[in-house]
Chains A and B, each alone.
Chain A
Amino acid sequence: MSNMPPEIIIDILSRLPVKPLLRFRCVSKQWRSLIDGNDLIKLHLQHSSRTNSNRTLVVDSIKLFYVDLDSFELLDIGNTRFKPQSVAGSCDGLVLLVFKYDNIVLWNPSTRKLSKLPTPPLEYFRSHSVDHVQERYGLGYDSKHDDYKVVRVVGDSVLLGSISLSSETHIYSLKSNSWKKVQAFPCMLSYGKRWGAYLNGALHTVAYHDVNSSQSIVAFDLGKEEYYEVPKPERSGLNLGLSSVEALGGCLAAVVPGERNSCQIWVMKEYRAKGSWNRLLCFHSPFIEPCIHLCPLAYSKSGEKVLLNYAGMCLNWYNLRNKTVEIACVNGLSASFDATPLDPLFHAEVCVQSLVSPHSPHGSRIG
C-alpha cells in the first residue's frame, strides 16, 4: 500500500472521538503532531458540529455528572473532583469553573486537562463590600484572534436595592494568559453567576438599563470587545418578559415565562433579525407555581426533541411533534418533578468533546 497523504489521514482522524485520538498520538511522531495540531483541532470541532456528534452534558449537582448526550450514559472524568455550583460556561469543549473570585479554572473534561487562570484584578473588591458584589462569568471563542476568552463582570447587586451601574469588566485571553480591563458592562446586573448564551463570537445575557426600564438582551462581542443589543421577541407589539437567553442548535433562544405555570421557548432563526423570533414550544409545569427556571439545552440528534432542564430538578426531552415530555434519567442524579424550589438545584451545560487545550501557550507567564 502506498503512503496515505496527510490530508486524508487528518480527515479520517477528525471523524474519531477524542479518546482514540489521545491513544493514537502514540502511533508515530507525524501522527502526534497532526493530532496536537491546530488544523485537526478545528476540523474535529467542525465535524462534531456538522454531524451533531461528540456531544456531552456536564451536570453540576451535589457532584459533577458527565454524560453522553445521545445515550445518556455516564462518562468517566477520572479523579477530578470539584465543588458543586462552579460551572459557569462552556465553549468548544472547554468548561469554565469559578470556585471563588480568585480561583478560576478552565477544564476540558474529554482530555481531562485543566488549568488554573491567573488571579484576576481585584480592585473592585477592595473598594466595595464583598457582600454587595455581584459577579458574572462567561467563556467564548474569539475567531478574529483565534483565542478563547473569559469575561468577568463585577458590580453591585441589584437585589440589595442598589441602582448603581458601577461595575467593572475584565477579560482574560488564553493566548496571552492575562487579564485586562475593558469597557464596563453598560447595564445593571441581575442575579446570577452566568452570562448565558455563547453564540456567534459573543456572550449574551438578559439585563436592565435601569430599574424602571424593560429588559434587553445585551451581547458582548469577544473579538471587538464591544457591547451591542440584540432584538428580543415580541408578540403583537407586546414586549415579552424574559428569564434568560440560551444557545440552542446554533440559534439564540429566549426563555419566556407565560401565564400561570407555562413557559415558552422562543428561537431567533436568523441572528439579530427581529422578525425571525419564533415560538418553539410551550412547556407546562406540573405545578401551579410560575415556571421561570426552564433551560433549553440541545436538540436530539434527529431534531425531533429538545432537551430541557426544568428548574434544575429534572432533565427531560420535549417532543416537538406530539408535544409530550419524557424524563431523561442520569444514573445517580435524582430527577423528579417535585415541588418547585426557589433556585435551580443543578445546572446543566452542553459541552462538545474536543481536543482544545485549556492551557495557555504562555503558561509560564502569569500576570
Chain B
Amino acid sequence: MARKNRNPVGKNVDPEAQKKKTRTLTLKSSDGQEFSISESAAVLSIAIENMVEDDCAGGVIPLPLVDGGTLARVITYLNKHAEDGASDEEKRKFDEEFVSGMEMGVLFDVVLAANYLDIRGLLREVRRRIADRMKNKSVEWVRKTFHIESDFTPEEEEQMKKEFAWAWEGVDSDVDD
C-alpha cells in the first residue's frame, strides 16, 4: 500500500486499524432491518467487538434486543464517534444535541441498547440525561414513565411522605417535556 510507505519508519501504523475503516459489517435489528456500518465504528460497542473477535459475525450480526429505530440512532452515535478528525469538543456537542430532543421512551430504548451493546460513552450520556429530566418530577410521573406500579398501601405512602414532606416542595407539573 502506497499509503503505508508515506509514514516514517518506526511510527506504528496499524494495518488492522486501516482495514477496520474500510471493512463494513451488517447489523440486523429485532424487526429485521439491516444496517451497514464500518467495523471501526461498530467496535466502539464492546459487545460487537467481542462478536467480531470471536468471529461469530459471519457477515451479518443479529441484534435481537434492539429494534430498527433504536439501532439507527445508535449507529448515528457510533459513526460520529468513529469519525476521523472529530475533536472531543465536537463530539461533546454532538452528544448534547443527540440526546436533547429524545423523548423519555426513546431515551429508555437507547439506554437499554447501549447497555446491551456495551457502549460506555453513550450509556453515560443517556443516563445523565434521564436523571436530569427526572430531578424535579413527581413520584407519579416517575411511576408512569418507568411503568412501575406502587406496591405501597396508601397509609404506608402517607407515612413515608410525612417523613420527608419538604422533599415534595417545588415539584414540576407532570407534563412531559
- Give me the interface of A with B, judged by CB distance under 8 Å: 1-5, 8-9, 11-13, 15-17, 19-20, 22-32, 76, 78, 111-112
Q: How far is the CA of A12 from the CA of B123 in the complex (A)?
A: 10
Assess whether B127 is in contact with A28, with CB atoms less than 8 Å apart.
no
Q: Please, which residues of chain A bring their CB within 8 A of the CB of B150?
A: 26-28
List residues 25-64 of chain B with CB under 8 A from any CB of chain A.
none
A84–B168 alpha-carbon span in the complex (Å): 29
A9, B112: Cα distance in complex, Å: 11
Would you call A1 and B109 a contact (CB within 8 A)?
yes
> Which of these, A1, A9, A11, contacts B147 with CB under 8 Å?
A1
Q: Which of B111, B112, B152, B161 contacts A29 (CB 8 A)?
A: B152
Contacting residue for B167 out of A2, A8, A23, A30, CB 8 A: A23
| Pair B109/A24 contact, Cβ less than 8 Å | no
Q: Which of under 10, 10 to 19, 20 to 34, or 35 or more describes the interface residues of B?
A: 20 to 34
CB contacts (< 8 Å) of A13 on chain B: these are 131
Residues of B within 8 A of A111 (CB): 164
Question: In the docked arrangement, what's the CA distance between A4 and B138, Å?
Answer: 19
Cβ-defined contact, B167 with A28, below 8 A: no
Asked if B24 lies at the interface with its beta carbon under 8 angstroms from chain A, I say no
Decide: A2 and B112 in contact? CB cutoff 8 A.
yes
B166 proximity list for chain A (CB < 8 A): 76, 78, 112
**Contact assessment for A26 and B115 in the assembled complex, using a CB-CB cutoff below 8 Å:** no
The residues in B between 114 and 160 inclusive whose CB is less than 8 angstroms from any CB of A are: 115, 127-128, 130-132, 134-139, 142-143, 146-152, 157, 160
Interface centre among A12, A26, A111 (most CB of B within 10 A): A26
Given A1-B109, A15-B127, A26-B157, decide whether A20 and B167 contact each other with a Cβ distance below 8 A: yes
Contact residues in A for B108 (Cβ distance below 8 Å): 1, 4
Q: Interface on chain B toward A: helix, strand, loop, or mixed SS?
A: helix
**If A15-B131, A27-B148, A29-B152 touch, does A5 touch B171 (CB 8 Å cutoff)?**
no
Q: Are A20 and B135 in contact (CB under 8 A)?
A: yes
Residues of A near B147 (CB, < 8 A) are 1, 3
In the complex, whether B105 has a CB less than 8 A from a CB of chain A is yes
Set of chain A residues within 8 Å of B164, measured between Cβ atoms: 22-23, 25, 111-112
Nearest CB of A to B62, in Å: 18
Question: Counting chain A CB atoms within 10 Å of each CB, which of B138, B157, B167 scores highest?
Answer: B167
Inter-chain contact A11/B171, CB cutoff 8 Å? no
Known: A22-B164, A27-B150. 12 other contacts (CB 8 A): A1-B109, A11-B127, A12-B134, A16-B131, A17-B135, A22-B167, A25-B160, A26-B152, A26-B157, A26-B161, A28-B152, A76-B166
B65 to chain A: closest residue by CB: A2
Residues of A within 8 A of B152 (CB): 26, 28-29
Decide: A19 and B127 in contact? CB cutoff 8 A. Answer: no
Tell me if B131 and A28 are in contact (CB < 8 A): no
A3 to B115 Cα, complex, angstroms: 13
Q: How far is the CA of A31 from the CA of B134 in the complex (A)?
A: 14
Chain A residue nearest in CB terms to B157:
A26
Q: How far is the CA of A27 from the CA of B147 in the complex (A)?
A: 11
24 cross-chain CB contacts under 8 A = A1-B109, A1-B147, A2-B112, A4-B146, A5-B115, A8-B115, A9-B146, A12-B131, A15-B131, A16-B135, A19-B167, A20-B134, A20-B137, A20-B167, A22-B167, A24-B139, A25-B164, A26-B161, A28-B148, A28-B151, A76-B166, A111-B164, A112-B164, A112-B166
> Across the interface, which residues of B come within 8 angstroms of A11, CB to CB?
127
Measured between beta carbons, the chain A residues less than 8 angstroms from B115 are 5, 8
Report how far A29 CA is from B157 CA in the complex, Å.
Answer: 10
CB-CB nearest in chain B for A25: B160
Contact B160 A28 (CB under 8 A): no
Judge whether B149 and A28 touch: CB under 8 Å. Answer: yes
Chain B positions within 8 Å of A24 at CB level: 134, 139, 142
Chain A neighbourhood of B168, CB < 8 A: 23
7 smallest beta-carbon distances between A and B, as pairs: A15-B131, A22-B167, A22-B164, A23-B167, A26-B139, A20-B135, A12-B131
Q: How far is the CB of A34 from chain B (nearest CB, A)?
A: 12
Q: Name the residue on B nearest A112 (C-beta).
A: B166
* Pairwise interchain contact A8-B127, C-beta atoms closer than 8 A: yes
Q: How far is the CA of A24 from the CA of B130 in the complex (A)?
A: 14
The CA of A20 and the CA of B166, in the complex, are separated in Å by: 10
- B160 neighbours in A (Cβ, 8 Å): 25-26, 32
Residue of A nearest to B109 (CB): A1
Output the least CB separation between A230 and chain B (Å): 36
